[in-house]
Structure 1
Amino acid sequence: MITDSVREFETERPRLFGLAYRMLGSAQEAEDVVQDAYLRWAGTDREAVRTPGAWLTTTVTRLCLTVLDSARVRRERYVGPWLPEPVLTSGGALGPMESAEQREEVSSALLLLLERLSPPERAVYVLHNAFGYGHREIAGILGLSESGARQHLRRARARLAEERARYAVESERQRALVETFLAASRAGDVSELVSLLAEDVSWWSDGGGRVPAARKIVVGREPVAGLIRMALEKWLVDAEFRPAQINGAPALLFFADGRLGGVMEISGGAEGITQIRAVLNPEKLGYLAEQLGAGEAS
């Protein structure tokens, strides 16, 4: 029998997951945080909770701050570039994706930039920009003064402003680049793929030491072209490519023997593809594989 308290929590669960994911950049860690919040909710005297949504938001945010403290140490030891865990967003897993602003707030490019913020700055930014909380509410959630919340938000915006401008992408142009990249990948047309690359294109491959992947960010058309050639000839020769909306943007999934093998997110503009982010670490593909109904990631 589903109790009122369970029903109340389940109503909030999607929003809480979206908050935790934006804070952590990891779907698995976000699920763990939400489950921990549920256990705390189940053990709390509900009569002492005036506003369940506010109580749960505060609990999840503070749990995320604890996770971020330890995650920073783990990511410093991470093998190769660290990328956010990909999430299929076409089904509403992270909320509405109707506007460019909503899509940008869950983009991998922005989540990477958020890694540069302190945990409190990240919390204030996410609560304000993605969920519309005011300074007074944020101060209460984080145990800050209202002026302290404002200062954190100013610092966060200042640190992100310049980099966000660099990564701003016209969505229709990006979609066209992904579609052309997909067609060329399916055809094995390496020359067409290389022609799409900007001179200063960068390749990020997150293998986490679990699968073959470049352990440094590769920059430049020729070095990246070499990686693409090698991947198509050695690892992706029989791969199946599919388009998908990942973190609010067009992306490519590839499958080997019917199992999800990785995600490639492609960013670019008039000059061509400027960044390719490939998530290959199987530990980061489990949540997406479940979303796709593809079973466990290979």
Structure 2
Amino acid sequence: MKIDLSYTGALMGAPKDLNQNGFAPAFPKNPVTIPKEDKAYTVTFSNEWRTFADAEKIRMEDLYSKTTIDPDDPFSYKPKDQWLIFSQYLHEQGGFDGKPREEVADMEEHLKRITDGLDSLHAGGIDLAGGLIRELDSFEAHLEYAASLSALNRFSEKFLTGDAQAGFKDLINGYAKHNRAVVEHHSSLEERFFQARASITVPDVRLMPEQEKEVRITNRLGKSDRILKDELVQTYITFFEGIRNGDDIQPAIDAVKKAFLSNILDQTPLKDREEMKEWLMERTSDTFDRIGSYFVALNDR
């Protein structure tokens, strides 16, 4: 698959009738007479919109070309807009053919929401559809990795068949490989701070009760193991892939929460576990809500 750096979505395609220099040919500026209310008005067609499209094509190619590209990894071309790789594939393979604009927009919206979490882990590049505000912690990245893979498979089952589906599954494998390398080494700035602070002796200072609690919990978290565990991720995937309809979503998320908490709480002294559990549930609430929302959207009909 040859990545088109100027591609920004199936509904935003670049003009196809470009001249040999890559620019749209100018419209002939012939005047046209339009009758209105018994009067004749003369107007001239403008080429401005085509000039704008040409300029946007060049601008997008320039912006995306500034990322670090691996020719064998299609997702390296647009690491903060990975949905566009899936969309371009579907566009070229006829996956959108015969569908009304609303359905195409809906399909692309699914892809945006599913990949948004892992898009946010990448530095540099551009982000056409990003919605995350807070940087994901490592354990949230692990959750997003498992959830997005499962959701992409669900998308494939829902919308695709035959060769288009087979090729899409190959792309999912490429997405998994690309993002595993990122997730495996990811930790948020706050996590790195927690880890550094936990390793030093802090001078005795007077803190408010809530501040003292926060320091105690995050110091404990800073000493915990945050590596990507394949067995745990596979457990997440198993639960997420059990979602076949809307009624399956909350039980699956509850099961994932239980596995997630168990992994961290097993490293936490018994006396601190309830505090740690409360902190983790609050910390990850946005991530679980986001994951739940894209599974709800995928299973709404």
TM-score range, shorter chain: under 0.3
Q: Which has the higher contact order (CA 8 A, sep 6+)?
A: 1
| Structure (1 or 2) with the larger CA radius of gyration | 2
The structure with more helix, counted as a fraction of residues: 2
